[in-house]
Amino acid sequence: MKGIKTERGARFNTSKVKRLYHQGYRAEWESIPSFSLWLRPSNDGYSAQCQICDATVLARLASVKQHHNTRKHQESMKCNEFLSMVSIN
Ligand SMILES: [Zn+2]
């Protein structure tokens, strides 16, 4: 039996990996100091959540950063820091 190499087929299988356009949530973002206090994965795995604002953010680093910079979030962070200080004492 003449062995026909199936390289083309193999190449076809591996070359069509989904592009990583939809990254989804990354746990490593939680190790970024600016985000570690509030960033949590959402239930669907495609979005992130701010525990402090109770807001849902797209699971993209740009969106997470954007949320971090919103005034609402900054205010909430201040409030949260204050509350945690109170509860420690
Ligand atoms: Zn927030």
Ligand 1 geometric centre to CA of 17 (Å): 34
Ligand 1 geometric centre to CA of 20 (Å): 26
Contacts of 46 (CB under 8 A, 6+ apart): 22, 24, 25, 59
CA-CA distance, 89 to 52, in Å (whole number)? 21
Give percent above pLDDT 70 in the chain.
71
Quote the pLDDT of residue 56. 95
Helix segments in the chain, DSSP class H: 7-15, 33-36, 61-69, 71-88
Ligand 1 geometric centre to CA of 70 (Å): 8
Ligand 1 geometric centre to CA of 74 (Å): 7
Ligand 1 geometric centre to CA of 84 (Å): 16
pLDDT: is 89 or 54 the higher one? Answer: 54
- pLDDT tens per residue across span 11-27: 555 445 555 555 689 99
- Examine the pLDDT at 39 and tell me if it is beyond 90: yes
Domain boundaries, the chain: 19-88
Ligand 1 geometric centre to CA of 35 (Å): 9
pTM of the model: 0.67
If pLDDT is split at 50, 70 and 90, which confidence band does 2 have?
Answer: low
If pLDDT is split at 50, 70 and 90, which confidence band does 58 have?
Answer: very high
Amino acid at residue number 78:
K
